[in-house]
Amino acid sequence: MNFRTRFAPSPTGPLHLGHAFSATLAYDLAASSGGEFLLRIEDIDQTRARAHWEQQIYDDLAWLGLTWPKPVMRQSERLPVYQTALDRLWNLGLLYPCTCNRKDIAAAASAPQEGVPLHGPDGIIYPGTCRALLKQRDPEQYNRPLDIPLRLDIAKAARMVETRLPAFQELGSGPNGETGLIPLSPEDLSQTIGDVVLARRDMGTSYHLSVVLDDADQGITHVVRGQDLFEATRIHVLLQAVLDLPTPIYVHHRLIRDDTGKRLAKRDDARAISKYQEDGATPNDIRRELGL
Ligand code: GLU
């Protein structure tokens, strides 16, 4: 069976128990399916990525007993791939530059329609200010700016692939127990996600764009990751349809929380894998603690 999964951490802090859970789950699933487990370093945010955190990722995963083919894919080496996809989306008329800052967005979104959610996977749902402005411009006069974030016109993208708007297979579950075949609808995309940023300022890409291109280029068949990314999966599946890329199967898993029920974050050093190691725990102790 063709089964390939991956773990895709960002080298911006220490891996904690939640990362250990995600990586080990993906690794075990690949092993039990006779498949392959790949590692990818998500380091597009060069202001936060650090070489020593990347090294720590390799050390922690190796200590946990995981192995992966080398060399690993590193996003910082793939900027031309992201640029090509942005060119394509731009030429399809699906992107527009956005000059709004956080304050502008919060102010414009402060009078939401009743029954329409205020927040999506990337924070406040963008109210479309710059999209409306662009309509008044002559596109012939307009060159794509390099240093301004680009947003996806999500309603237009959904319309473009409407007749083949895909659903995705969820083998795990979303935060509200969503599982099985999860359909995408244009209304849902517009109302609960909105026009997300696909090229961040000074970065030339974004998590959403890179993850879609990287999963496709690595031939990932099963994406194993935390439930916090379940909603973002709708964006990824839409982009796969627009860019003619295959949609993998998704396995969203429960989140590992601290004693107060809060999801672990990189700053929770106490749960860092290296800390457990220093305190004399074994990889099996970690597996036991995670119920694996
Ligand atoms: N770099 C992302 C993170 O650390 C990974 C997201 C994914 O698995 O798609 O949260």
Kindly state whether residues 9 and 150 are assigned to the same domain. no
Query: How much distance in Å is there from the Cα of 113 to the middle of ligand 1?
Result: 32
Establish whether residue 16 lines the binding site of ligand 1, counting it when its CB lies within 6 angstroms of any ligand atom: no
- Judgement on whether residues 4 and 144 belong to the same structural domain of the protein: no
Tell me the C-alpha to C-alpha distance, in Å, between residue 154 and each of 5, 55, 148, 179, 256. 28, 37, 18, 24, 32
Q: Ligand 1 pocket, 211 CB below 6 A?
A: yes
How many CB atoms sit inside 10 A of residue 186's CB? 17
**Residues whose CB is less than 8 angstroms from the CB of residue 154 and which lie 6 or more positions away in sequence, other chains included:** 189, 190, 193, 194, 195, 196, 235, 238
Neighbours of 270 (CB within 10 A): 11
The whole-number pLDDT of residue 139 equals 56
Q: 202: pLDDT confidence band, cut at 50, 70 and 90?
A: confident
Mutate to test the pocket of ligand 1, among 4, 6, 42 (most ligand atoms within 8 A of CB): 42
Residues 30 and 41 in one domain: yes
The boundaries of the domain holding residue 56 are: 1-77+257-292
Quote the pTM value.
Answer: 0.93
Q: Are 87 and 153 in a shared domain?
A: yes
Q: Tell me, yes or no, whether 1 and 131 share the same domain.
A: no
Token pair of 66 as six digits: 């995981």
- How would you classify the pairing of strands 73-74 and 36-41? parallel
pLDDT at 112: 59
Q: Give the pLDDT score at 102.
A: 87
Residues 91 and 72 in one domain: no
Say yes or no: 73 and 91 in one domain: no
CB-based contact 199:205 (threshold 8 Å): yes
Four-point Cα dihedral 9, 225, 40, 290, nearest 10? 60
SS3 readout for 103-146: HHHHHHCCCCCCCCCCEECCEECCCCHHHHHHCCCCHHHCCCCC
CA 226 to ligand 1 centroid distance, Å: 8
**132 CA distance to ligand 1 middle (Å):** 32
Q: Which tens digit of pLDDT belongs to each residue from 137-160? A: 655 555 666 678 999 999 999 999
Same domain, 146 and 89: yes
Q: Do 223 and 96 sit in the same domain of this protein?
A: yes
The closest of 68, 38, 66, 75 to 222, measured between CA atoms, is: 38
Longest CA pairwise span in the chain (Å): 65
For residues 178 and 204, membership in a common domain is answered with yes
Report pLDDT for 201: 87
Q: pLDDT > 70: what percent of the chain?
A: 92
The count of structural domains within the chain is 2
CB 74, CB 133: distance < 8 Å: no
- Angle at Cα 165 formed by Cα 163 and Cα 168, nearest 5°? 150
Q: In this structure, are 50 and 112 located in the same domain? A: no
Q: How far is the CA of 8 from the centre of ligand 1 (A)?
A: 5
Within the chain, where are the H helices?
Answer: 17-32, 51-63, 79-91, 102-108, 129-134, 154-160, 186-188, 207-217, 230-242, 273-278, 283-290
* Positive/negative CA dihedral, 209, 212, 218, 222: positive
Judgement on whether residues 209 and 267 belong to the same structural domain of the protein: no
Q: What is the mean pLDDT of residues 223-229?
A: 97
* Crossing angle of helices 207-217 and 230-242, rounded to 10°: 60
Hey, what's the torsion of the CAs at 97, 128, 99, 204, to 10 degrees?
A: -40
CATH code where residue 279 lies:
3.40.50.620
